Amino acid sequence: MNFWTRLAQWLNPPDPGPVEFKPEWAEILTANIPVYSRLPTNFQTQLHEKLTHFVAQKHFEACGDLELTDEMVLTVAGQACLLVLNHPGPPFPKLRSVLIYPSAYKATHTTVDALGIVHQQEVVRLGESSSNGTVVLAWDSVLQGAGNCFDGHNVTMHEFAHQLDQARGRADGIPFLQNPNRYARWAEMVETGHDRLERMSAAGKRTVLDKYGATNHAEYFAVATEAFFEKPRQLVRKQPELYAELKTFYQTDPAQWFTQG
């Protein structure tokens, strides 16, 4: 095997094929992700299908003194796959590893200033996503985010929204869109939405979107994703255009899940 073949395999590792969906997985999903029970049956089946690929393809690792369990894998993977329920192909093709810490962890944040000087700072995080194919999460925050599916805070969905964004490279709030004609409209939506949130936040006004979305365009998309899945009825009422764009992107309509039962 020559260098180029090995490099191609490293960049595009062969798909190991799906694993079997075990009946006990449904019990974990039911217990830890309340929204799972609200999904229409055909969506549950699609979620199971995505999960069988996700679990087979991604490397999970517990960090600190945490021991990896099926519950951790399924609670993370189940929420991540909700984002790509109706997307064609394997879930998150660029993602390789998911690292799980017991709780908030310390990470080094590197920035380069205008003079080209590198600054490093220790920060405490609940999660992060990088374009090199890694998502890091704090397990207690994952559980908390999954358990309350109405508060608009979900660290797993937040970081996996970044992962979708980063599929095109650096996170900028613009993920791959199925219809290439929509990029200009999407970019405008993110810019105006972010600017509005920034203004509202500066004025001390609360909106359906968490003010953390005012940080930059990437955070705006991640925060909007959390609201789309966890406060869909509020979002569709308050910001119908944003809801409609996200509905087209995610190819699903969470507002329907919350009207059942």
Q: Note whether 222 binds Zn ion by CB under 5 A.
A: yes
Q: Are 160 and 129 in contact (CB under 8 A)?
A: yes
What token pair was written down for 206? 């609360």
Least separation in angstroms between CB 218 and Zn ion? 7
Least separation in angstroms between CB 203 and Zn ion? 23
CB nearer Zn ion, residue 57 or residue 156? 156
Q: How far apart are CA 60 and CA 99, in angstroms?
A: 6
Q: Which stretch binds Zn ion (CB under 5 A): 21-29, 75-83, 85-93, 214-222?
A: 214-222
Q: Which stretch binds Zn ion (CB under 5 A): 15-23, 40-48, 105-113, 217-225?
A: 217-225
CB nearer Zn ion, residue 76 or residue 222? 222
CB nearer Zn ion, residue 165 or residue 245? 165
Residues sharing a CB contact under 8 Å with residue 16, sequence separation 6 or more, in sequence order: 56, 57
Nearest residue to Zn ion on Cβ basis: 222
Q: Are 51 and 77 in contact (CB under 8 A)?
A: yes
User: Helix, strand, coil % (nearest 5) of the chain?
Assistant: 55, 15, 35
Backbone angles phi, psi at 136, to 5 degrees: -120, 135
CB nearer Zn ion, residue 75 or residue 154? 154
| Cα separations in angstroms, 150 against 78, 169, 249 | 17, 31, 21
CB nearer Zn ion, residue 39 or residue 222? 222
| Cα separations in angstroms, 72 against 1, 99, 181 | 37, 10, 39
CB nearer Zn ion, residue 29 or residue 214? 214
Q: How far apart are CA 222 and CA 240, in angstroms?
A: 17
**Per-residue contact flags (x/-) with Zn ion for residues 87 to 116, judged by CB under 5 A:** ------------------------------
Q: How far apart are CA 253 and CA 76, in angstroms?
A: 21
Least separation in angstroms between CB 158 and Zn ion? 6
**Per-residue contact flags (x/-) with Zn ion for residues 120 to 159, judged by CB under 5 A:** ----------------------------------------
- Footprint of Zn ion on this chain (CB under 5 A)? 219, 222
